Amino acid sequence: MTKGIVVILTGASSVGKGQIRNRLLEDEELNLFYSISETTRPQKEGEVDGKDYYFVSHEAFAESVKNKELLEYTEFNGYYYGTPKAQVDFLVDKGKNVLIEVEAQGVGPIKLSIPDALAIFVMPASMEELEKQIEMRYKDDEASIQRRINKAKMEMELAPLFRNIVTNDDVDKAVSEIKELILKVQKDRA
């Protein structure tokens, strides 16, 4: 059986990764399965444990880190997020393609474990557009807006390190470009 491929989707905060991710996951031709992250943050209304995230205690998360069970992990706003290694390995071994959505700094640790993973950085049309997106999304919390804008600027400084950069000035176009990259990797490995 041919192993699946790992696709890492990253980019600046609020650049539209979630919308792109959902569209890619709906495309049956890509045979993509979403890697569900582990987090210590509280479950929000409407979220489902095991579907949106694996919600765990700080102690359980620390145990996962200690036992090297995460491909990568990060902290944001006092909460931890990480990618469980066993889940990704299981799906790839079954011939499934796995989509991992992570912060830009999480790509390096994943690539160390899975060197042939396809890493894609999603860029905004412009910094001004991205700031508008962040302001619209977090309109009631000025401190959160500023934190996210600063974080996005830092993340965008990492973009030149990526071989595959897709600009999200049109979601259909961005999804199409990413699909082409995935299909090319699949074809090259077949």
C-alpha dist (Å) from residue 184 to 58, 106, 119, 180, 188: 40, 24, 13, 6, 6
Domain-embedded: residue 171: yes
The CATH number that applies at residue 113 is 3.40.50.300
Number of domains observed in the structure of the chain: 1
Domain-embedded: residue 155: yes
| Bridge partners, 123 (sequence order) | 167
Q: Is 9 exposed, middle or buried (0-12, 13-18, 19+ CB in 10 A)?
A: buried
Q: What is the pLDDT of residue 137?
A: 81
Domain-embedded: residue 1: no
Asked if residues 181 and 174 have their Cβ atoms less than 8 Å apart, the reply is: no
Q: Which residues of the chain have pLDDT under 50?
A: none
Task: Give the residue among 19, 176, 186 at the shortest CA–CA distance from 116.
Answer: 186
Asked if residues 122 and 159 have their Cβ atoms less than 8 Å apart, the reply is: no
CB atoms within 10 A of CB 142: 10
Asked if residues 130 and 47 have their Cβ atoms less than 8 Å apart, the reply is: no
Phi-psi region of 102 (alpha: psi -120 to 50; beta: other; left: phi over 0): beta
Q: What is the pLDDT of residue 2?
A: 84
Domain-embedded: residue 146: yes
Q: 3-state DSSP call for residue 27?
A: coil
pTM attached to this predicted model: 0.90
Q: Cα 61 vs. chain centroid, distance in angstroms?
A: 19
Amino acid present at 30: L
Domain-embedded: residue 67: yes
CB atoms within 10 A of CB 109: 17
Q: Which structural domain, as residue segments, surrounds residue 10?
A: 6-189
Q: What is the pLDDT of residue 144?
A: 81
